[in-house]
Amino acid sequence: MILKKYNGIWFFGLSGSGKTLASNFLKTKVKKFIILDGDKIRKHISFDLSYTLKDREIQLRRVYGMALLSIDSEVFPIVSTVYMSNQIILKLKRKNILPIQMTRDFQKIKNRKKIYNINNKNVVGRDIKMKKFAGLNLINNSDNIENLKKKILKIIS
């Protein structure tokens, strides 16, 4: 179903918005997939980068390149990153990779301070503004996982 409609899916949004949950659910719906998690790529490949805006742009280009390599190998990339740029959004659309911005009402999260550790610098959503992008916006406004799964299926169907 998904493989015929899109070449890949890219979730992006603030920490705690549900990207990993969405990715793990989506992998049950495709046969040949790879999860490209921006945090894991940063840990194993982009360890030379900091969290400045410039380095976040470099990280996005690297993750995008990995998604293209996956598609070339006939593997469906399920990508998740915190940051996103207009330049990458345009490239995704040209390659038929569906970008989905994940949002959440963080006022309702009890451990919100843990997500936005006040000692950290260059935090997307605090120091680095998260833009609103035209296109799909998946709002994760409940703690009900089944509701989020239904929303994901509606978007990809």
CB of 40 closer than 8 Å to CB of 82: no
Of these residues, 73, 80, 85, 142, which one is catalytic?
A: 85
Give the three-state DSSP class for 19: helix
Cα distances (Å, whole numbers) of residue 90 to 45, 71, 102: 24, 17, 18
- Nearest partner of 100 among 10, 5, 7, judged by Cα: 10
Taking the C-alpha atoms of residue 53 and residue 94, their distance in angstroms, rounded to an integer, is 24
* Residue 157 known to be catalytic: no
The residues annotated with a catalytic role in the active site are 85
